[in-house]
Amino acid sequence: MTIKGITHMGDEDVDEVKVVYAKVQSELAQKLANHLCNAFVKAGLAEKPRGGCVKLHMTILNTRYLGSEKPEKDYIDATELLKKFGNIEYGTINVDKIQICRMGEIDTNTGGYSIVHSEKF
């Protein structure tokens, strides 16, 4: 997978951003993610993603985890962050494992999403 550039989720203004992520590029990973997503949709376990394809990404910042009493009001001004890091190529990584996680359910041991299934290649 190649990691190149950063951007933000959603269609909010760049000065009111909730999620900043690095863009991931991989034809094989995209095909696999879309295939899995379609199977989940067919089984009634997920909704079809906006735009029809899974958005491959690496979350850099999510204001949901700032610990505020009103997380729906938390945002950052990402203007300078996106100007400075928006087009940098961060490199290529080899992936030898995938994990399917349950969004919104936090594993108290790791602080990350709860892992439903893990598969090593």
Supply the range of the domain harboring residue 6. 2-94
What's the domain count of the chain?
Answer: 1
Report whether 63 contacts 19 (CB < 8 A): yes
Distance of alpha carbon 102 from alpha carbon 50, whole angstroms? 19
Which pLDDT belongs to residue 118? 94
Asked if the structure places residue 74 within a domain, the reply is yes
Which residue did the predictor score with more confidence, 57 or 111? 57
Mean pLDDT of 25-40: 95
How would residue 21 be classed by pLDDT, with cut points 50, 70 and 90?
Answer: very high
Q: Residue 69 gets which letter from DSSP?
A: S
* 60 lies in some domain: yes
Per-residue model confidence as pLDDT tens digits over 34-90: 999 999 999 999 999 988 899 999 999 989 878 778 877 889 999 999 999 999 999
Q: How many CB atoms lie within 10 A of CB 7?
A: 17
Q: What is the pLDDT of residue 70?
A: 80
Any domain includes 34: yes
